[in-house]
Amino acid sequence: MGLKELRLAKGLTQKQLADKVRGFNRTSVAQYEGGVKNPQHVFRCCHATG
C-alpha cells in the first residue's frame, strides 16, 4: 500500500496529511505520492496516518 492509499484509507486530504506532518505542505505530499520526491521522510507521513 502506497502513501496515497494510506491517506485515502484514513479519509485525509493531501492538505490534512501535510498539516499533521511538521515540515510538509500539500505540494510535498503530492510530490511524494507522485514519485517526484525521494521518499526519505515518508515514514513521517506513515506515522501521521496511524
How would you write the pLDDT of the chain (50 residues) with one tens digit per residue?
A: 788 999 999 999 999 999 998 888 999 999 988 888 776 666 676 777 76
Of the candidates 35, 23, 20, the residue with the CA atom closest to the CA atom of residue 7: 20
φ, ψ of residue 37 in degrees (nearest 5): -100, 145
pLDDT at 22: 81
pTM for this prediction: 0.74
CA angle (47, 19, 48) in 5-degree steps: 10
* Per-domain residue ranges of the chain: 3-37
